[in-house]
Each structure stands twice: as C-alpha cells, then as structure tokens.
Amino acid sequence: MVGGGRGAFIGAVHRMAAALDGQIELVCGAFSSSAEKSKLSGADLFLPPERVYGTYGEMIEKEKALPEGERMDFVSIVTPNHLHFGPAKMALENGFHVVCDKPLCFDMKEAKTLQKLVGKTGLLFALTHNYTGYPMVKQARAMVKNGDLGEVRKVVVEYPQGWLSTKLEGTGQKQAAWRTDPKRSGIAGAMGDIGTHAENLAEYITGLQITELCADISTMVDGRQLDDDGNVLLHFDNGARGILHASQICAGEENDLNIRIYGTRGGLQWFQMAPNSLYVKWLDKPQQILRTGGSGLYPEAEAHARIPAGHPEGYLEAFANIYRNFAYCLQARMAGREVEEVYKDFPTVEDGLRGMHFVERVIKSGKGKAKWVKV
C-alpha cells in the first residue's frame, strides 16, 4: 500500500475491503510521505519492520529484489490525487499490478501515460469506482444490457453532499484541505471528487458513453479555490439525453448518490444510501422493487451478494467486490487459467481516462464561452 497511514481516511477503507473475502493480505507499505509516520503506521498494522518503507520508490525496488512468491503481487495506491501517478507508473514499469483510488491521476497527460503503460505491460489495473460494486448496480446494468428497459432515452444522475457548505478547509481539516487545493486535487473540486463517480455510474449502468456536455460550474463558498457545485447537461452516443448534478454545498446532505434511467419500455432508480433496493418502473405494469439477495436476479447481481436477503450489504461490501474480482483475475493469471466472466467486472485504466477527460471537458465548458463541448 502507498499512503493510508495514521490519520488517513480512505486507506483504512481499502484495507477492510481488500481483506473481506480472505483473498488478499497486506504484506508491505509506504504509508506516508514521512518515513517516521510510515514506520509507526506499519507497526499499527503489525507488519514486520523490514517490510515498512520510507518511500514508495524504496518499497518497489526492495520488493522487486525479493524472490518470486515472497514479494508483493500488486500495489494499492490510496494517496491524494497528485500522488497517484508516480507510484502507479513506477509499479507498472517494474512489473507490479496496480489498484488505484479515483480519480486516476492529476491531469490528462498523466492519465494518457498510464493508459499507454498498462497497454504496453499488459498488467492488471483497477480503479476503485466503488459504487459500481453494489449488487443492485450490477442488476441495473444487466437489465439495460439485456434490453429489459428498451432503448435508453434519459439519464438523471446526482451526487449531493453538504460537508463543504462552509470553508472547512480553513479550519485545518485534512480531507477538506487537499480536496480544495488545486495543487493537490487538480483543476476540479466537486466535479473531480464526486462528479466523476456520477459520470462513471451513468456510463457503467447504461453501457453508453457521453459524447457532448454543457456545464454550469460554481464556487459558492467565498475564498474557495475550486468548484464546489456543478450542473451538467449530457448527450450520449445513442442519442439519449442526460442531466448530472454534483455538489458539496447541499447543506444537510450526506452521500446521496442516486440515478434514474428511462428506456422505451420502462425505467429504474437506485439510491446509494439505500443500496439494497432497485426500483423498476414499467410502462404497462406495476412498479417492482428488486432486493439484494432476492430471487429472480441476474447472475451478475447474484455473484456480488454475500449474505441472505434482508441482511444489509453496503459500502464496504461494494468496495470489496472490486478487490475480490481483481484478486480472482490476478490469481487466474498467475495460475495460467481463465476466470469466470462475471468476475472480470471492475473499473480499469480506461474508465479512469474517461473520468479525467470528463473533468477536463466539464471545466472547459464551465469556464469557457462555447458551452457545448465534445467528450
């Protein structure tokens, strides 16, 4: 692991998710830009001192020197945006597979470099767009893919949060500080942080790609350097129309990512904060509520649920589905065998590149005079 030491938020989530299915073991790490803090963090996790490193460069070099079977198999990168590229690039160049937190990296130049490296090396690369891991998101995707809803015409996706309704970054709060800093976050604030989740979810479920967008981008909190609110009109490659709204100044909201998709025969709706239910609305029959673990679901949904119906599965389990699928694919590759198709489903570097391009186009549209821009 790179990052995720004492005081970090997402690193602990990654560790819990990776460990959930008993397929992955944390064996080493460079947990902080401070060598002392990295050592202390490694001790917290009961790692042997010789496998806790002061820098990611030291970790990759020393792990590569270990015999095959003893060295790490892949690197998990859980740092702020501007620190994704360096360890990802070095890991790939030295033969290590990669799991990386989203967004892919700091800018499009870095994104394209990583895409080319993954293509050149043939190594596995997973991006933790974790919301795609929910069983009912898999069900929604399968329903669209199998034509249950007819041709998709309309997509409405939103991700409102309220935690940045005040200038929290001015209080020294670590997460707020780096996410609103253009030197660490990149060209976008809310649209890069959570807008990419909304974009990825819309494209993942529908199987469509955004081809054009028109964005209205705002910074509502005085003195903030990056956007904290955005509204985007979307055109998809099949002619469907869409609306994407992402905001971090919706006071009182938590993480209310939700999506509505309408086809010629019916529609569906899913809420991240109540993830075990999928609402299906038909043109010519009563509404259905499909439930995680219930009967009659597609294999894609069944394969990503762990416990009987009525026992809630949530954020960590969805996150774990990405790690588990990545692990199954890596194990199969190491053993020279094929993995079941249903387990090949996790976000890749290509999804990351699309996310970075989406952010770039949103900011270009939001700040420029020509409102409609091509993606």
Q: Which domains does the chain have, with CATH numbers?
A: 10-123 (3.40.50.720), 132-307+350-367 (3.30.360.10)
Q: What is the pLDDT of residue 196?
A: 97
Do 84 and 76 meet the contact criterion of CB atoms below 8 Å apart? Answer: no
What CA–CA distance (Å, rounded) separates 140 from 133? 12
> Is 89 in contact with 65 (CB distance < 8 Å)?
no
Task: Say yes or no to pLDDT of 9 above 90.
Answer: no
* pLDDT over 90 (residue 260): yes
What is the model's pLDDT at position 54?
96
Q: What per-residue confidence (pLDDT) applies to 370?
A: 81
| Beta-carbon count within 10 A of 93 CB | 13
pLDDT average, residue stretch 60-85: 96
Band (pLDDT 50/70/90 cuts) for residue 369 is: confident
Rounded to two decimals, the pTM is 0.96
Average pLDDT across the chain, whole number = 97
Could you give the percent of the chain with pLDDT greater than 70? 100
Question: Using alpha carbons only, what angle is made at residue 168 by residues 162 and 170, rounded to the nearest 5 degrees?
Answer: 160
Q: What share of the chain is helix, strand, coil (3-state, %, to 5)?
A: 40, 20, 40
Mean pLDDT of 275-295: 96
3-state secondary structure of 342: helix
- Separation between Cα atoms, residue 138 and residue 133, nearest integer Å: 7
Amino acid at 342: V
Quote the pLDDT of residue 71: 97
Helix 85-93 vs helix 56-65: crossing angle, to nearest 10 = 20
- Residue 320 dihedral angles phi and psi, to the nearest 5°: -65, -30
Placement of tokens 């253009």 in the chain: 182
> What confidence score (pLDDT) does residue 7 get?
87
- Comparing 9 with 37, which gets the higher pLDDT? 37
Residues 219-238 have pLDDT tens digits of: 999 999 999 999 999 999 99
Note the pLDDT tens digit of each residue in 338-368. Answer: 999 999 999 999 999 999 999 999 999 999 9
Structure tokens at 56: 């990611």
Q: Is the pLDDT of residue 124 over 90?
A: yes
Look at residue 371 and tell me whether its pLDDT is greater than 90.
Answer: no
Which two tokens mark 325? 């699928």
Q: Give the percent of the chain with pLDDT over 90.
A: 98
Reported as a pLDDT band with limits 50, 70 and 90, residue 336 is very high
* Preceding omega of 299 cis (within 30 degrees of 0): no
User: What is the layout of strands, in order, in the sheet containing 125-127?
Assistant: 74-77, 97-100, 125-127
Q: Give pLDDT, residue 318.
A: 97
Q: Degrees (nearest 5) of the Cα angle 272, 128, 262?
A: 40
Lowest mean pLDDT among 114-123, 305-314, 342-351: 305-314
Query: Does 75 score more than 90 pLDDT?
Result: yes
pLDDT above 90 (res 210): yes
Whether residue 270 is predicted with pLDDT greater than 90 in this model: the reply is yes
Average pLDDT over residues 16-31: 98
8 Å CB contact between 31 and 3: yes
Q: In angstroms, rounded to a whole number, what is the distance separating the alpha carbons of residues 266 and 251?
A: 33
The one-letter code for the residue type at 356 is M
CB–CB of 323/307 below 8 Å?
no
φ, ψ of residue 317 to 5 degrees: the values are -65, -40
Read off the pLDDT of each residue in 15-23 and give the average, rounded to a whole number.
Answer: 97
pLDDT at 183 over 90: yes
